[in-house]
Amino acid sequence: MLPNCLFRLIIVAWLILLAPTTWAAATLVAVAADFTKPMTEIAAAFEKTTGHTAKLSFGSSGKAFAQIKSGGPFEVYLSASEKYPLELEKSGYVVAGSRFVYAIGKLVLWSAKSDYVDDQGKILKTGGFKHIALADPAHAPYGVVAEEVMKSLGVLDKLRPLFVMGENISQTFQFVSTGNAELGFIAFAQVIDINTGKIGKGSGWIIPDNLHGPFNQTAVLLKKGAENPAALALVDFLKSPTALAIIEKYGFGLPK
Amino acid sequence: MLSPADIEALLLTFKVAIISTALMMLFGTPLAWWLARTHSAWKGLINAVVALPLVLPPTVLGFYLLVLMGPAGVIGEFTNWLGIGTLPFTFEGLVIASVLYSMPFVVQPLQAAFTTIGELPLEAAATLRAGPLDTFFSVVVPLAKPGFLTAAILGFTHTVGEFGVVLMIGGNIPGKTRVVSVQIYNHVEALQYSEAHLLAGVLLVFSFAVLLVLYTVLKTQPVAHQLK
């Protein structure tokens, strides 16, 4: 039998060790590639404010969707589109009523060369380039929107033979930033200078929303995270003024 | 059934693999011969460079090629100077990347086969007044035949299965750079799982059949023995 005081000491030590895991929890989040920069900053602010941790996994929305459907460990899902969260909701992976728009996607036509893309996007009609990069419209939300823009401008069929397609928006950016594609449709967040709120390098055209359909980047709380205080707190935090300010700073529109 | 886009991807893949294999045999044979015979101090370095794609992630190789072959890269500036433009997103660029990526699968079996032959048959040929080229084609090629077969088949099948490098420099252009591995990936990403299954099945059966022929009908040693 242990002496009484030693026994108490062990209990106290055990409680102290246990405490952080009880109060602060961690949640695993699947994040669309275009939201990499703001989410990294939001996660840091989240940790500071709530003490919880958000572990972020960046990639294409489609891949995260497939992983969630195959039993992936994600608790919160930030998609670049509305389609995948809706689909997950229908198949019963989502906590009822948790779906919300966290940001409005902003598309830019961009080139690594300065003075190449004019601020009206007239270059799409004048041409003179060999390749135009976009994310694959078959599964990437930015690719879908890029096609809609070219369709509204009546240049889709003319430009289609010049398409080079990235697997997600990060790879598309790589094609353009290395100069292999003269220009391409990428996320505003990838090229914004957060001090001025304008395109920081190269040249580009921030595409007006009326040239494409709604670009509602949608998040859901997945059933895996329904009991996790960190997942619940993160969903709330994404709607907080702190998070919204970061989202706006990186060039996204705010949910209406 | 396979869609026209799937068939296009399959045909393109075989075209890339056939041309790449021919180029690898053409350049790989003298290189392997030199590596097998030389006592040069450079041997270790060249061996290491040839073997690099075995250990590097394909995405690393692909990323370097994208940068180097781009307009600001060394290779890109050279090809621009030649007037042929830059290589990413082209069929030719894909072939060059495949040759670099699959080269160890051609060079290593050949090098092993050449080393195994040893000095004796070459000296015997020399005493019969055979010149170096005559010796190579009349003595070395027949003796190293299993090595040549292994090299060609491994080079070919490895190119057929290539993915990461193509994804990085290909740009996913139908008929030009959209090979079968990328097409399978596209199907998975677009949640077309049954199409993905079918095409993946075709690739699996093909690769297995080729290796089965290599190891049973031709009675070649498994590659691990040759790579020593």
Distance from CA of A45 to the nearest CA of B (A): 32
What SS3 state is found at B13? helix
Q: CA B175, A158, A208: angle at the middle one, nearest 5? A: 115
Check residue B221 and give its pLDDT: 57
Q: Does an H or E element contain A184, and which?
A: strand A183-187
| Interface contact A131-B171, CB threshold 8 A | yes
Nearest to B66 among A131, A136, A174 (CB): A174
Check residue A19 and give its pLDDT: 54
For residue A20, pLDDT over 60 is answered with no
Find chain B residues with C-beta within 8 A of A139's C-beta: 186, 189-191
A132 near A184, Cβ under 8 Å? yes
Find chain A residues with C-beta within 8 A of B173's C-beta: 163-165
Residues B61-84: tens digit of each pLDDT: 999 999 999 998 999 999 999 988
d(CA A159, CA A165): 13
Suggest the residue from B60, B163, B172 to mutate for an interface test with chain A (most A CBs closer than 10 A). B172
Grade residue A136 by pLDDT with cuts at 50, 70 and 90.
Answer: very high
For residue B37, pLDDT over 70 is answered with yes
- Averaged over B108-126, what is the pLDDT? 91
Find chain B residues with C-beta within 8 A of A133's C-beta: 171
d(CA B40, CA B19): 31
Q: What is the pTM of this model?
A: 0.82
Suggest the residue from A68, A165, A170 to mutate for an interface test with chain B (most B CBs closer than 10 A). A165
Check residue A15 and give its pLDDT: 62
Check residue A99 and give its pLDDT: 96
For residue A219, pLDDT over 70 is answered with yes
Check residue A18 and give its pLDDT: 57
Q: Is B67 on the interface with A (CB under 8 A)?
A: yes
B79 near B69, Cβ under 8 Å? yes
For residue A21, pLDDT over 70 is answered with no
Q: Is B151 on the interface with A (CB under 8 A)?
A: no
Q: Give the range with max mean pLDDT: A17-31, A93-107, B199-213.
A: A93-107
- Averaged over B90-114, what is the pLDDT? 95
- Averaged over B171-179, what is the pLDDT? 90
Residues A177-212: tens digit of each pLDDT: 999 999 999 999 999 999 999 999 999 999 999 999
Q: Edge-to-edge strand order for the sheet containing A107-111?
A: A163-166, A132-135, A183-187, A107-111, A203-206
Grade residue B129 by pLDDT with cuts at 50, 70 and 90.
Answer: confident
Residues A137-152: tens digit of each pLDDT: 988 899 999 999 999 9
For residue B131, pLDDT over 90 is answered with no
CB pairs under 8 A between A and B: 63
Check residue B200 and give its pLDDT: 95
Check residue B33 and give its pLDDT: 95
Average pLDDT, chain B: 90
| Interface contact A180-B173, CB threshold 8 A | no
A39 near A87, Cβ under 8 Å? no
DSSP B88-145: TTSHHHHHHHHHHHHHHHHHHHHHHHHHHH-SHHHHHHHHTT--HHHHIIIIIHHHTH
Check residue B220 and give its pLDDT: 63
Distance from CA of B169 to the nearest CA of A (A): 8
Angle between helices B4-37 and B43-55 (to 10 degrees): 160
d(CA A90, CA A168): 25
Check residue B222 and give its pLDDT: 53
Which residues are A184's β-sheet partners?
Answer: A110, A133
Distance from CA of B228 to the nearest CA of A (A): 38
Grade residue A2 by pLDDT with cuts at 50, 70 and 90.
Answer: low
Grade residue B225 by pLDDT with cuts at 50, 70 and 90.
Answer: very low
| R_g of chain B computed on alpha carbons | 20
Check residue A3 and give its pLDDT: 64
Angle between helices B58-69 and B74-82 (to 10 degrees): 50
Residues A61-72: tens digit of each pLDDT: 888 898 898 888
Grade residue B189 by pLDDT with cuts at 50, 70 and 90.
Answer: confident
ipTM passes above 0.90? no
Number of domains in chain B: 1
CA B209: distance to chain centroid?
18
CA-wise closest residue to A143 among A118, A124, A167, A127: A167
- Residue A205 phi, psi (nearest 5): -130, 120
* Dihedral over alpha carbons B216, B218, B224, B228 (to 10 degrees): 150
Q: Residue B143: which domain range?
A: 4-227
d(CA A215, CA B57): 35
Residues B136-161: tens digit of each pLDDT: 898 999 999 989 999 999 999 999 99
Nearest to A139 among B66, B69, B189 (CB): B189
Check residue A38 and give its pLDDT: 95
| Interface contact B89-A180, CB threshold 8 A | yes
CATH number at residue B65: 1.10.3720.10
Grade residue B226 by pLDDT with cuts at 50, 70 and 90.
Answer: very low
Q: Is B71 on the interface with A (CB under 8 A)?
A: yes
Nearest CA in chain A to B64: A178
Grade residue B191 by pLDDT with cuts at 50, 70 and 90.
Answer: confident
Type of residue at B178: R
For residue B223, pLDDT over 70 is answered with no
d(CA B191, CA B144): 47
| Interface contact A139-B190, CB threshold 8 A | yes
Residue ranges of domains in chain A, CATH in brackets? 15-104+216-249 (3.40.190.10), 107-211 (3.40.190.10)
d(CA A28, CA A230): 9
Grade residue B183 by pLDDT with cuts at 50, 70 and 90.
Answer: very high
